[in-house]
Amino acid sequence: MNNEHKDAVQDTVSEEIVEEMLENTPGPGEGEVTPEQEIPVTESSDEAGSVELEKLQAEVLEHQQRALRVQADFDNFRRRTQKEKEELGKYASSKLITELLPVIDNFERALQASGDNPEFESFSKGVNMIFRQLESVLASEGLTAMNSIGEPFNPEYHQAIMQVESDEFEEGIVVEEVQKGYMLKDKVLRPAMVKVSM
């Protein structure tokens, strides 16, 4: 093969390659990405994404804390309601018993007065039985009389109406009970009216 023939073959091959490249190259407007379509990855877009992420994380944390507070409030409400319900059941009879205390006082006065007169002895015994029955019913509900005489004065349990001199008791001791005090279970239903030594 001479040199002229080699040159002719190379020219033909070169022209075919150039034509093929031109066919595969998109023309103007074909497959080109316009500047508006480009999505540049810049530092500012990374910063914006991290700021948005932090904001969402803060919102999630706030909602979690709010949910925990609501749960704690509900638990406290449930415990408080349960305690109130128990106390209501425990002291449900307190209003009725409070209204019966003057009746008990009058029973005691009647028994003391009738005990001095022998003519009313059988009547006094009957009234005394009724009184003991009433006391028993109230005791089953948790009512107990306070024993105040000889005890140190305590404003939670006693209501002082006067101070008196006493050789028997030192200062601040209950020497006389004017009106009985009563407890309903562990609660003061009526403080005792007392005289206190000075």
CATH classification at residue 103: 2.30.22.10
Residue 174 lies in a domain: yes
pLDDT in tens, 88-115: 777 777 888 888 888 888 888 888 777 6
Question: Given a cut of 70, is residue 16 above it in pLDDT?
Answer: no
Residue 7 lies in a domain: no
Rounded to whole angstroms, the Cα distance separating 106 from 166 reads 29
Residue 121 lies in a domain: yes
Q: How far is CA 120 from CA 20, 113, 129, in A?
A: 141, 10, 14
Rounded to whole angstroms, the Cα distance separating 130 from 137 reads 11
pLDDT in tens, 142-193: 889 998 888 899 989 999 998 888 888 888 889 989 999 999 888 898 999 9
Could you give the number of structural domains in the chain?
A: 1
Residue 50 lies in a domain: no
Phi, then psi, of 74 in degrees rounded to 5? -65, -40
For the chain, strand residue ranges (E) read 143-145, 158-164, 174-179, 182-184, 187-190, 192-197
Mean of pLDDT over the chain: 78
Residue 105 lies in a domain: yes
3-class SS of residue 101: helix
121-140 vs 94-115: helix crossing angle, rounded to 10? 160
Give the predicted TM-score (pTM) of the model: 0.53
Residue 38 lies in a domain: no
Percent of the chain with pLDDT over 90: 11
Residue 71 lies in a domain: no
Residue 116 lies in a domain: yes
188: containing domain: 94-197
User: Using 50, 70 and 90 to split pLDDT, how confident is the model at 17?
Assistant: low
Rounded to whole angstroms, the Cα distance separating 137 from 112 reads 21
Segment 34-46 mean pLDDT:
53
pLDDT in tens, 52-64: 888 899 899 999 9
